[in-house]
């Protein structure tokens, strides 16, 4: 290898280690959260508080919007907060920001290990497998998710994405499909209940891999892959069925974006040149150009191997990576891919091109750790050095004014307006202003705003018992958003009391004069029961299918599609994606 290439290779190693070291120190140096962090802090506080009352899956957050409540976890994937809750309880003496950093650091390490597992599956050398895993775990976009935006849900998605691809590769490679089936089904289900946009991104890439492999697949093996995806999706039914049922009742229209609201990397690059939003758009631009360079490298390798070793394992894997890179580039260029999202009605799910930087991070790690062609290494190392330096810069200058408007204080400690009921004011600012104005209201009042004689007898997250003493028939207005799953009952008779939303979105009902004891309860709907049953059934089906597959292949040795030379090098770890181009 020429001296220049050796120096460049070692510089890439050093750059990755530098970025990992600097970001490793970030949890100890960063004492604030990003611009979505105040949502995460409220949820970190509220989620375990509801769980402690025996509610296994919190849906309604009672103290959001100044006590009016919020339907957040009907729609927001809950897994990250199930993960954070034990840490919040264990580190109960620490602040919520500290708990966030501890959880984020733990998830970062988990993503490092999951990526290393994927790289060992594709036969990366041990040293390169560790470096590629560090590149993935401490990628600039990962830093952006954790510290610039502070989104624990998308941060957790970094753990599952490599495992989805590992499951696919095992199903393509191994004669015994048991391990690949379990890994694909479970990791896909966990990804869905972690972060939906990330799942859409990884799911599209997985479909690309499957379509590229269709000639190599037998119908039984294709059926196993499909069954794993279906059961993994069903595993998340406890989350998705209530979402489908309650979606018409929340102002989810705010999740939709216009053409002006979509980020395109080339337009973002112009913003970076003008000094605007350096961290967010600079990170997105760095990932985009990295994928662009690696796409050119992969396509060149694919073309050369097409001439020298067509149909071989090396050629096949390079072609799959090239197709994934092309897919990433296509969807990052929003001006090109927007019609696809509109046709699929997924524009409100995958909002911005930078969502694809998760796949870009996976590609960067896999290509860096596996492609060993000397000419390709020059360009790969240059792009990796640039990516690592961007990550290092973000970690060093996190206290400087290079983030998205850091001096601006957060408007309120409330949930995003998209989780307010449709009966509330349709204006984002009006919803927040109304909640601020009424956050100190009594629990019950009349239509004129006069406080009523009420007493809270018992209060739990999903059940409030209170009493009212009325001098005359009164339309009672509760300090609570109207929501179809909340029902009012007369505690003495058990009869349900008819209710309706006020023009401002609050709960109201008519009561006669006298003393009344009332139960206000969040009921479990049929969609929630069906979702829980379907998720449990999917888990049982995954275990039973894995057991059946294991029994069918118990006495058969595991075979792979690798060549004898590649099998011989498994322990020492030579790459199975080496180029057949003659080295200089």
Summarised one tens digit per residue, pLDDT across range 553-582 is 876 554 444 444 444 444 433 344 443 333
Return d(Cα 10, Cα 3) in angstroms, integer: 11
**What pLDDT score does 60 carry?**
92
Give the residue, 501 or 344, on which the prediction is more confident. 501
**What pLDDT score does 446 carry?**
94
**What pLDDT score does 331 carry?**
87
Answer whether residue 402 shows pLDDT above 50. no
CATH code 1.10.490 for 419-522: no
**What pLDDT score does 34 carry?**
80
**What pLDDT score does 258 carry?**
55
Q: How confident is the model at residue 393 (pLDDT cuts 50, 70, 90)?
A: confident
What's the length of the chain? 584
**What pLDDT score does 409 carry?**
42
pLDDT tens per residue across span 437-482: 888 899 999 999 999 998 999 999 999 999 999 999 999 999 999 9
146: DSSP letter: I
**What pLDDT score does 517 carry?**
96
Comparing CA positions, the residue from 140, 126, 239, 141 lying closest to residue 190 is: 239
Are 167 and 187 spatial neighbours (Cβ–Cβ below 8 Å)? yes
**What pLDDT score does 455 carry?**
93
Task: Specify which residues 469 forms β-bridges with.
Answer: 453, 515
Give the residue, 199 or 419, on which the prediction is more confident. 199
**What pLDDT score does 582 carry?**
32
Answer whether residue 20 shows pLDDT above 80. yes
pLDDT tens per residue across span 159-214: 999 999 999 999 998 989 999 999 999 999 999 999 998 999 999 999 999 998 88
**What pLDDT score does 352 carry?**
64
pLDDT tens per residue across span 56-74: 999 998 888 888 998 988 9
Once rounded to an integer, what is the mean pLDDT over residues 420-433? 85
**What pLDDT score does 460 carry?**
92
**What pLDDT score does 37 carry?**
82
**What pLDDT score does 157 carry?**
97
Answer whether residue 96 shows pLDDT above 90. no
Answer whether residue 54 shows pLDDT above 70. yes
**What pLDDT score does 107 carry?**
97
Answer whether residue 244 shows pLDDT above 50. yes
Return d(Cα 352, Cα 568) in angstroms, integer: 45
Return d(Cα 546, Cα 426) in angstroms, integer: 49
**What pLDDT score does 583 carry?**
34
Burial 270-303 (b: 16+ CB within 10 A, else e): ebbeeeebbbbbbbbbbbbebbbbbbebbbbbbe
Return d(Cα 391, Cα 18) in angstroms, integer: 9
pLDDT tens per residue across span 99-141: 999 999 999 999 999 999 999 999 899 999 999 999 999 999 9
**What pLDDT score does 496 carry?**
96
Return d(Cα 263, Cα 270) in angstroms, integer: 12
Burial class from Cβ neighbours inside 10 Å (0-12, 13-18, 19+) for residue 219 reads exposed
**What pLDDT score does 559 carry?**
43
Return d(Cα 394, Cα 538) in angstroms, integer: 42
**What pLDDT score does 158 carry?**
98
Mean pLDDT for the chain? 86
pTM of the model: 0.89
**What pLDDT score does 91 carry?**
87
Q: How confident is the model at residue 415 (pLDDT cuts 50, 70, 90)?
A: low
What Rg, from alpha-carbon coordinates, does the chain have?
27
Are 129 and 576 spatial neighbours (Cβ–Cβ below 8 Å)? no
- CA quadruple 542, 75, 105, 278: dihedral, nearest 10: 130
Give the residue, 355 or 543, on which the prediction is more confident. 543
**What pLDDT score does 348 carry?**
54
Answer whether residue 304 shows pLDDT above 70. yes
Answer whether residue 327 shows pLDDT above 50. yes
**What pLDDT score does 317 carry?**
81
**What pLDDT score does 573 carry?**
39
Write the Ramachandran bin of 437: left for phi over 0, alpha for psi from -120 to 50, otherwise beta. Answer: alpha
Task: Specify which residues 470 forms β-bridges with.
Answer: 514
Q: How confident is the model at residue 350 (pLDDT cuts 50, 70, 90)?
A: low
Residue spans of the domains in the chain: they are: 3-30+77-243+261-408+531-568, 419-522
Give the residue, 46 or 223, on which the prediction is more confident. 223
**What pLDDT score does 436 carry?**
84
Q: How confident is the model at residue 357 (pLDDT cuts 50, 70, 90)?
A: very high
The long-range contacts involving 470-474, CB below 8 angstroms and separated by at least 24 positions, are 470/511, 470/512, 470/513, 470/514, 470/516, 471/513, 472/513, 473/510, 473/511, 473/512, 473/513, 474/446, 474/510, 474/511, 474/513
**What pLDDT score does 569 carry?**
43
Return d(Cα 56, Cα 77) in angstroms, integer: 14
Q: How confident is the model at residue 345 (pLDDT cuts 50, 70, 90)?
A: low
Task: Specify which residues 464 forms β-bridges with.
Answer: 459, 520
Say which range, 91-105, 244-258, 370-384, 530-544, has the weakest mean pLDDT: 244-258
Give the residue, 45 or 487, on which the prediction is more confident. 487
Q: How confident is the model at residue 407 (pLDDT cuts 50, 70, 90)?
A: very low
């Amino acid at each position: 290898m020429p001296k220049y290439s050796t120096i460049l290779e070692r510089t890439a190693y050093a750059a990755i280690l530098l970025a990992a070291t600097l970001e490793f120190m970030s949890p100890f140096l960063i004492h604030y959260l990003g611009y979505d962090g105040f949502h995460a802090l409220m949820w970190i506080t509220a989620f375990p508080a509801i769980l402690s009352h025996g509610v296994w899956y919190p849906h309604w957050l009672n103290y959001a919007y100044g006590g009016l409540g919020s339907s957040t976890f009907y729609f927001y994937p809950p897994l990250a907060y199930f993960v954070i809750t034990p840490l919040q309880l264990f580190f109960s003496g620490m602040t919520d920001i500290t708990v966030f950093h501890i959880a984020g650091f733990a998830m970062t390490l988990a993503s490092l290990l999951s990526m290393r597992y994927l790289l060992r599956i594709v036969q990366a050398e041990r040293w390169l497998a560790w470096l590629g895993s560090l590149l993935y775990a401490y990628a600039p976009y990962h830093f952006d998710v954790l510290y610039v935006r502070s989104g624990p849900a998308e941060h957790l998605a970094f753990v599952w994405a490599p495992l989805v691809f590992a499951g696919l590769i095992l199903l393509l490679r191994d004669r015994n499909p048991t391990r690949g089936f379990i890994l694909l089904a479970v990791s896909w289900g966990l990804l869905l209940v972690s972060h939906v946009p990330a799942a859409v991104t990884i799911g599209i890439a997985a479909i690309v891999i499957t379509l590229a492999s269709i000639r190599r697949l037998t119908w039984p093996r294709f059926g196993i892959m499909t069954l794993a995806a279906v059961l993994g999706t069903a595993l998340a039914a406890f989350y998705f069925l209530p979402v489908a049922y309650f979606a018409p009742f929340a102002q989810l229209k705010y999740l939709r974006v216009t053409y002006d609201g979509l980020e395109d990397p080339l337009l973002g690059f112009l913003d970076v040149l003008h000094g605007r939003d350096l961290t967010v758009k600079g990170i997105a631009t760095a990932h985009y150009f990295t994928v662009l360079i690696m796409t050119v490298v992969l396509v060149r390798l694919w073309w050369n191997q097409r001439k020298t070793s067509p149909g071989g394992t090396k050629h096949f894997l390079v072609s799959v990576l090239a197709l994934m890179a092309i897919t990433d580039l296509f969807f990052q260029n929003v001006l090109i891919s927007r019609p696809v999202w509109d046709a699929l009605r997924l524009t409100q799910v995958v909002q911005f091109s930078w969502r694809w930087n998760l796949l870009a991070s996976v590609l960067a790690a896999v290509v860096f750790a596996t492609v060993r062609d000397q000419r390709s290494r020059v360009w790969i190392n240059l792009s990796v050095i640039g990516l690592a330096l961007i990550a290092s810069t973000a970690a060093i200058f996190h206290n400087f004014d290079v983030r998205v408007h850091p001096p601006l204080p957060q408007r309120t400690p409330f949930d995003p307006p998209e989780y307010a009921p449709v009966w509330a004011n349709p204006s984002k600012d009006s919803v927040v202003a109304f909640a601020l104005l009424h956050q100190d209201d009594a629990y019950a009042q009349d239509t004129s705003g006069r406080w009523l004689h009420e007493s809270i007898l018992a209060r739990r997250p999903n059940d409030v018992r209170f009493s009212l003493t009325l001098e005359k028939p009164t339309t009672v207005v509760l300090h609570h958003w109207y929501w179809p799953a909340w029902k009012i009952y007369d505690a003495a008779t058990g009869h349900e009391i008819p209710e309706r939303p006020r023009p401002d979105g609050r709960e109201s009902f008519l009561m006669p004069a006298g003393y009344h004891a009332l139960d206000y309860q969040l009921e479990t709907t049929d969609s929630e029961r069906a979702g829980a049953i379907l998720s449990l059934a999917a888990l049982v089906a995954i275990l039973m299918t894995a057991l059946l597959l294991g029994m069918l292949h118990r006495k058969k040795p595991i075979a792979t599609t690798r060549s004898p030379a590649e099998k011989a090098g498994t322990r020492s770890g030579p790459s199975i994606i080496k180029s057949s181009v003659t080295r200089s």
